[in-house]
Amino acid sequence: MQRNFFVGAALVLGTLLHAQQDSTYLQEVVITANKYEKKQSQTGKVISVISSEMLRQSGGRSLGELLNQVAGVTIPGANNNLGSNQTINIRGASAGNALILLDGIPVNDPSVISNYFDINLLSVDQIERVEILKGGQSTLYGSDAVAGVVNIISKKAGREKNKPAINAALSGGSFGTLRTSLGISGQQKKLDYLLQLSAISSKGFSAATDTTGTADFDKDDYSQQTARVQVGYKTGVHSRLQLNNLYSRYTTSLDAAAFVDEKDFVADNTNKLSGIGWQLKKENTVFQLNYQYNEVQRAYLDDSSYRSSSFVNFVKSSYTGITHFAEMYLSKKTGSFEWLGGIDYRKHQTTQSYWSTGPWGPYAPPDLKASFDQLSPYASLVFSKDNFIVEAGGRFNHHSAYGNNITYTFNPVYRLNAHTKLFANLYSAFKAPTLYQLFDPGAGNTTLEPEQGSIQELGLEWIKGRTFRGRVVGFNRESRSTIIYSYNPITWSGNYINASTQHNYGLELESQLTISTFTIRANYAYTDGRIEGSYSGTGLPLGKDTSYFNLYRIPKHALNISTSYTSGQWLFTLSGRAASNRQEFIYGSAPQEMPGYITIDLYGEYRFKKINGLRAFADLRNLTNTRYEELRGYTARGITLMAGVLFSR
């Protein structure tokens, strides 16, 4: 199958790369690459964009499903039952090594062992666009940005004075799924505002796989509500104050484990975010102040009228993670130079409790209450001259638990001609140990050091005319002092230690071609890697250094293709995804291989002439009803239909 992947990728992408013809991409402006607006053609950083048009045509898909279509990005579980645990893996990096930003500001959940944020708490209806910036980005964004950052940019208030803008959506389909969304925004004199509400409910299907088909596994339902309020006020000719509030909550039924049903296990997760920002923006100068408070609460209850395990009768646990983030930065353009200087402060706190009872009585480990903070000044400088652009920057990070560390970035770009640029990126990055890894009463280790990453990229990009873009990138990443859990079977105890070196490398090919009413997009990613150290995958000492493959759930080869056709009021998109064999980690045993798969989707949309802004759509996913697994022992969706209407004016 791997040979078929190489052949398919070469044929499809080779055809597109020889067709060089368009894209508004040349002038597309992004903000994540430098923290201020910049055309993609003027940076060598590897950034992909999920545009507002792509989001509108998503057919009610989740954020995880959309990110799964980006080259080098894998979201295991994105096509499972709604509410399934989803982590963003960029270029094979483990969970927590891709930093999520919400409007440029980091969002984390300090109550999670790896500090990653649950993207189930984010609704696509609330999003304007998504920018995925790959490579080590700790210089601008701090801890966790080892493999890249995902900047989720929220919908903005309407800018047309005294005329409110309204958007609404209603859709439904397979598994009793219903999605609704309603928003209003506008501007009155110096004041602008936005209110966006969305909800999702689904009867779902069994998260765990029933291998016999006769075990009567129950359906695992899902319900989500999201509300966002944004208010802006123009404080001067060149300045603006903005307030943001986001509330999201979802509840979902869970199963006990892979292949194991559970009928009364429920998760209730809530996110509360409040932020304030002030910006002064002139022609060549931007000064920004930000503060954000984010609180995630996770509660799990298994009251066990149905018992999937003979060891536990009742389980109740709760986890709260709180993040304070404050930032100040200034960017300025002067002649051939652009410079940025800033400082940020972040404080992480968590409170965690667990209680269970069973045949051997109650079990209640000590509650975890812990916090740490980080203070980081950073700076970058961009120099442009003729066909040459170079960026260099650095960050000094002071951590209250382990002390100090620094990172750097160096990004030279050379334009070979009007259509082609060559770029090379050198980064260092870091991931700070989490609150659980540092301070948990049973497993914590206060002597942990940060994981340190060294990343290199080399790439070539082609842009010609108005309809074509193509990019090829090779990457190499080495993470040292990676943190693992080491277990001693003699003492029945363990803790977290800095022990291993992770080495990942690969290749990404991307292209987009528009000819008349057709648009073809394709990307291919090859990802490989190994871990080196004197500990096994279960944390047992091996007595000597050993190297082994450990990119579990990550396909070595992944190919995404979509073809869109527009005719009058109609739009049709046929898309497909192919993923090669993947390995699943099995504790205490050899990894299990999950077979590769191919899925095909079909999307159709009709725009009404007589009612401006009204569209109807239907989205048929996995139309061949392919049976496959993204997580071993958990069910991926078969053929699925969603249909509905969209309105925006």
Distance, CA of 369 to CA of 516 (rounded, Å): 60
Question: In this predicted structure, what is the pLDDT of residue 317?
Answer: 96
Q: What are phi and psi of 16, to 5 degrees?
A: -70, -40
Question: In this predicted structure, what is the pLDDT of residue 493?
Answer: 82
Model's pTM, two decimal places?
Answer: 0.93
Q: What is the CATH number of the domain that holds 644?
A: 2.40.170.20
Longest dimension (CA), the chain: 75
* Mean pLDDT value of segment 480-503: 89
Task: Pick the more confident residue, 23 or 293.
Answer: 293
Mean of per-residue pLDDT scores for the chain: 91
Task: Answer yes or no: is pLDDT of 2 > 70.
Answer: no
The answer to whether 535 and 484 have CB atoms below 8 angstroms apart is yes
> Of the ranges 133-137, 375-379, 537-541, which one carries the lowest mean pLDDT score?
537-541
Q: How far is CA 152 from CA 31, 178, 381, 421, 531, in A?
A: 11, 24, 25, 27, 31
Task: Domain count for the chain, please give it.
Answer: 1
Q: What is the pLDDT of residues 282-325, one digit of tens each?
A: 989 999 999 999 999 999 999 877 777 778 889 999 999 999 99
Distance, CA of 411 to CA of 266 (rounded, Å): 47
Question: In this predicted structure, what is the pLDDT of residue 490?
Answer: 78
| pLDDT-derived band at 463, boundaries 50, 70, 90 | confident
Q: Apex CA 570: angle with CA 564 and CA 575, to 5°?
A: 25
Question: In this predicted structure, what is the pLDDT of residue 27?
Answer: 54
The answer to whether 374 and 399 have CB atoms below 8 angstroms apart is yes
| pLDDT-derived band at 626, boundaries 50, 70, 90 | very high
| Entry field: residues in the chain | 649
Closest alpha carbon to 290 in 241, 256, 248? 241
Q: What is the pLDDT of residues 162-205, one digit of tens each?
A: 789 999 999 999 999 999 999 999 999 899 999 999 999 999 99
Distance, CA of 374 to CA of 533 (rounded, Å): 29
% the chain with pLDDT above 70? 95
Neighbour tally for 545: CB within 10 Å: 11
The answer to whether 508 and 501 have CB atoms below 8 angstroms apart is no
> Of the ranges 105-109, 373-377, 477-481, 549-553, which one carries the lowest mean pLDDT score?
549-553
3-state secondary structure of 581: coil
Question: In this predicted structure, what is the pLDDT of residue 465?
Answer: 66
Contacts 24+ apart (CB under 8 A), 166-171: 166/647, 166/648, 166/649, 167/646, 167/647, 167/648, 167/649, 168/646, 168/647, 168/648, 169/125, 169/644, 169/645, 169/646, 169/647, 170/644, 170/645, 171/59, 171/60, 171/617, 171/642, 171/643, 171/644, 171/645
Task: Answer yes or no: is pLDDT of 489 > 60.
Answer: yes
Task: Answer yes or no: is pLDDT of 265 > 70.
Answer: yes
Q: What is the pLDDT of residues 517-531, one digit of tens each?
A: 999 999 999 999 999
Written as one letter, the residue type at 466 is R
Distance, CA of 402 to CA of 399 (rounded, Å): 6
The separation between CA 153 and the C-alpha centre of its own chain, rounded to angstroms, equals 12
Closest alpha carbon to 140 in 323, 324, 377? 377
Written as one letter, the residue type at 97 is N
3-state secondary structure of 541: strand
Closest alpha carbon to 43 in 526, 588, 425? 425
Question: In this predicted structure, what is the pLDDT of residue 649?
Answer: 83
For residue 620, what are the contacts with CB-CB under 8 A and spacing of at least 6? 601, 602, 603, 639, 640, 641
Neighbour tally for 152: CB within 10 Å: 24
Domain ranges, residue 433:
2-648
Question: In this predicted structure, what is the pLDDT of residue 170?
Answer: 96
* Mean pLDDT value of segment 147-152: 97
* Mean pLDDT value of segment 365-371: 95
Closest alpha carbon to 87 in 115, 125, 61, 60? 115
